[in-house]
Chains A and B, each alone.
Chain A
Amino acid sequence: MAKRILKSAAIAAASALMLSACAASDTTEASTTTVSFRLWDETVAQAYEASFDEFEKQNPNITVNINVVPWGDYWTKLRTDVAGGTMDDVFWINNSYYGAYVDSGNLMDVGAVMGASAAEAWEPSVVDQFTRNDTLWGVPQLYDAGIAVYYNADLLEKAGVDPEALDDLTWDPEEPKNDTYLAMAKKLTIDANGKTAETEAFDEKNIAQYGTNLAYDLQAVLLPFIGSNGGHFQDGDEFAFADDKSAQAIDYLVKAINKQHVAPSAADTNDDGDFSLNTFTQGKMALFQSGLYNLKNVSQNADFGWGVAMLPAGPEGRVSVTNGIVAAGNAASENKDAVKKVLGWLGSEEGNAYLGVDGAAVPGVVAAQDTYFDFWKKKDVDVSPFFDVVSDGKTIPAPTGPNYSKGFEQYDPIFKEIFAGTVKPLDGLEQAQAAANGAIGADG
């Protein structure tokens, strides 16, 4: 009996101890708030780690957790997490997808949280992109500037091409005489026997080196080619790519891939967005048209001499797309005060500069952008082609609209078939446009 009493007493004591332990941990938790931050880019996430380390030093009662969700799952997971109430407090969002979240009331009004004048410090083109219904819906984090062409200097030298000649290349779907771009691409495309695509003996089934990365890549290839030919992708939120000029540009790309074989086939690139990047960094592609978002990848992985040249000019000159990314605040967050502080830090010169310091991205805060240029200048990389191409203000808008994702699901498979050569460009574009516009008009 005595034993039993002792046992009960021991259990009671243990329970009390556990309870007090719980209580103790509760009080420490109450004094620090955790803010979660989600993005898709592993490279930039490392820069954020450093930035938030400093933020936590200045705000010891706030901890920031970074979650990297890969691009392939990002938009699906964002949607389901918002629906399930498990979304992070602050998250990256881009121009194509933010509209739906604005319209459903899931984003914080940045002007109301941080003051209307805060936007003056930020990259104006990004502020414009993310202003909907006269309200700014995110704190600009990075600015993509325009599209340019990375080149493999070793391969150019082998072919006897002066890199400076790349800046004068023009393409023309109507007048082959004016098309110096395709001629250059053929010269730089070489089969396993060392024959270039200019020659009759060229073996298209055994290509050892590609001239370019022309492919179904909306941002880096499709939009600049459509824009440089005077075509449209969207008119407002509606899809408008079935016009003659866009179809002509796409037809030009498809022929370059499937007839001239100067770029990898759609079977390689349609489902593998990194195929061309990898081919370029492996030294098997001479020209790689892309954005600043691949600068760090190229610089880390290319073990050959490389540089950056201007986007080739089309009949309407060089018309690039420009894009930005913002950090949006989750309107359903329970830690509004802490989120406000984090957003303030992300939009400050000090907090945002970390993205530029190690060259990961061009900071969205204008005053912090010098850090980026300094980094690449020290590395002896001239990034001016990315900025020169958009300096004259001639750009084609990046895809947008609250139902963009629904339209995308409709046109995407058809575009893939167009690039695979199984559907004629104009027919496919007309059908894709009708399907995509039907999807954004109709509500599921």
Chain B
Amino acid sequence: MPGVSDTVKPAVSRQPRMRPSRVPGRRRRRDTTTAYTLLAPSLFGFAAFLLFPILVVVWLSFHHWDLLSTPTWAGADNYGTVLGDAAFLNSLAVTAVFVCLVIPVQTAFGLVAASFLTRGLPCSAVFRVIYVLPWISAPLALGIVWKWILAPTNGLLNTLIGERVEWLTSPALALPSVAAVVVWTNVGYVTLFFVAGMLGIPQHIIDAARIDGAGPIALFWRIKLPLLRPTMFFVLVTSVISVFQLFDQIYALTKGGPHAVTDSGTLGYTDVVAMRLYTEAFSTFNVGKAGVIAVILLGLLVLITLAQQLYFRKRTTYDLS
């Protein structure tokens, strides 16, 4: 079959890097057309399933709608109501506490677990699979299992410790309990990436450090951790986003409760932003207010991602290739 090897070889490698800018205009336009044609299917998906819903939510946030009557224009009313709503501000605070509690703990657990899993101990492969199981299971189903484990009467945990503890309904314990379930769910996913990152560190660098006298602790803090920076960035960004969108476990375990009844309103101890959004949209049917919360959540996530990107860009990244 003549010519096959020519077509298989990547064309880019043989061409000088600056070549595209010297291509005549017509050729470039044709390239762009081809590119868009090839991109069309995924662009369609992006527009239909991502961009369009976002635009609809933005549109809804400027309307009053209870799902039954026709939506009426609300101007900025909903934004005013939501920003002055103690329950919404509380949900932001609760979400922030969740982030501060869940992210450090799951990252630390993930790093420790990854260090053990990359040591080549027996059964490492089995453990790698077991660690990821919670993450690939349906969070709502896991939530229901955990609800039974943490139930005050006949719950597995209380039966084991022989004491009646109200894990999910006492104001002091509800948030830490849910956070623990979230950490348990996510740790495997985080570990998976750290394992991949650690396996990507060339053995000769580690050997060199050992020869220079680095013990296991110095090796971890001075060599492995700095070299894991790109992995760390990815893990932190995705974890923060996932904790901000935390909903399933809350829905299954506490539905936002227990509540503090205060002069400014009824505030849930585990009422995270996504739970508040759900309550506004599907329990009280204030779809406009829910739209505002969704828009604010989107804005916050974009800001957080940008901030994280800036922070990590300033720091050195090592090229291991």
Q: Which residues of A come within 8 Å of B, CB atoms?
A: 76, 79-80, 82-83, 100-101, 104, 106, 205, 264-268, 270-271, 275, 405-406, 409-410, 413-414, 416-417, 420, 422-423, 427-428, 431, 435, 439, 443-444
Q: Complex: how many Å from CA A264 to CA B152?
A: 11
Contact across chains for A104 and B266 when beta carbons are under 8 A apart:
no
Which of B152, B257, B287 touches A268 (beta carbons < 8 Å)?
B152
Given contacts A427-B261, A444-B289, 16 further A-B pairs with CB under 8 A are: A76-B282, A79-B67, A82-B67, A104-B68, A264-B153, A265-B152, A267-B168, A267-B170, A268-B151, A275-B153, A405-B285, A413-B266, A420-B258, A431-B261, A431-B266, A444-B286
Contact across chains for A435 and B265 when beta carbons are under 8 A apart:
yes
Closest residue on chain B to residue A104 by CB atoms: B68
Contact across chains for B259 and A409 when beta carbons are under 8 A apart:
no
Contact across chains for B68 and A100 when beta carbons are under 8 A apart:
yes
For residue B171, CB closer than 8 A to chain A, the reply is: yes
Contact across chains for B258 and A422 when beta carbons are under 8 A apart:
yes
Which of B152, B255, B259 touches A417 (beta carbons < 8 Å)?
B259
Q: Complex: how many Å from CA A51 to CA B230?
A: 64
Residues of B within 8 A of A80 (CB): 67, 282
Q: Complex: how many Å from CA A83 to CA B281?
A: 12
Closest residue on chain B to residue A100 by CB atoms: B68
Q: Complex: how many Å from CA A267 to CA B258?
A: 10
Residues of A within 8 A of B169 (CB): 266-267, 270-271, 420
Q: Complex: how many Å from CA A416 to CA B153?
A: 18
Listed residue (A82, A205, A439, A444) with the most chain B CB atoms within 10 angstroms of its CB:
A444
Assess A422 versus B66: contact at CB under 8 Å? Given A406-B285, A416-B259, A417-B259: no
What are 25 A-B contacts with C-beta separation under 8 Å? Answer: A76-B282, A76-B283, A79-B282, A83-B68, A266-B169, A267-B169, A267-B170, A405-B283, A405-B284, A410-B266, A414-B259, A414-B261, A417-B260, A417-B261, A420-B169, A422-B171, A422-B258, A431-B266, A435-B265, A443-B66, A444-B64, A444-B66, A444-B285, A444-B287, A444-B289
Q: Complex: how many Å from CA A443 to CA B268?
A: 23
- 1/0 per residue B74-112: CB within 8 Å of A? 000000000000000000000000000000000000000
Interface residues on B, range: 20 to 34
Residues of B within 8 A of A417 (CB): 258-261
Q: Complex: how many Å from CA A267 to CA B152?
A: 7
Chain B 276-312 residues near chain A, CB threshold 8 A? 279, 282-289
Residues of A within 8 A of B68 (CB): 79, 82-83, 100-101, 104, 106
Q: Complex: how many Å from CA A417 to CA B256?
A: 13
Q: Complex: how many Å from CA A194 to CA B25?
A: 93
Residues of A within 8 A of B260 (CB): 417
A280 CB to nearest B CB, Å: 14
Listed residue (B64, B153, B256, B265) with the most chain A CB atoms within 10 angstroms of its CB:
B153
Residues of B within 8 A of A422 (CB): 171, 258, 261
Closest residue on chain A to residue B280 by CB atoms: A444
Residues of A within 8 A of B257 (CB): 270-271, 413, 416
Q: Complex: how many Å from CA A268 to CA B153?
A: 7
Contact across chains for A444 and B67 when beta carbons are under 8 A apart:
no
For residue B29, CB closer than 8 A to chain A, the reply is: no
B79 CB to nearest A CB, Å: 14
Contact across chains for A409 and B283 when beta carbons are under 8 A apart:
yes
Assess A409 versus B279: contact at CB under 8 Å? Given A79-B67, A423-B261, A431-B261: yes
Residues of B within 8 A of A266 (CB): 169
For residue B164, CB closer than 8 A to chain A, the reply is: yes
Contact across chains for A444 and B288 when beta carbons are under 8 A apart:
yes
Q: Complex: how many Å from CA A275 to CA B154?
A: 11
Q: Complex: how many Å from CA A83 to CA B171?
A: 37
Q: Complex: how many Å from CA A423 to CA B261?
A: 7
Q: Complex: how many Å from CA A420 to CA B152?
A: 13
For residue B166, CB closer than 8 A to chain A, the reply is: yes
For residue B203, CB closer than 8 A to chain A, the reply is: no
Interface pairs A-B: 8 shortest CB-CB: A444-B286, A104-B68, A83-B67, A413-B259, A267-B169, A267-B166, A267-B152, A76-B282
Residues of A within 8 A of B256 (CB): 413
Closest residue on chain A to residue B265 by CB atoms: A435
Closest residue on chain A to residue B289 by CB atoms: A444
Residues of B within 8 A of A205 (CB): 164
B113 CB to nearest A CB, Å: 33
For residue B21, CB closer than 8 A to chain A, the reply is: no
Assess A79 versus B153: contact at CB under 8 Å? Given A414-B266, A417-B261, A435-B266: no
- 1/0 per residue B98-130: CB within 8 Å of A? 000000000000000000000000000000000
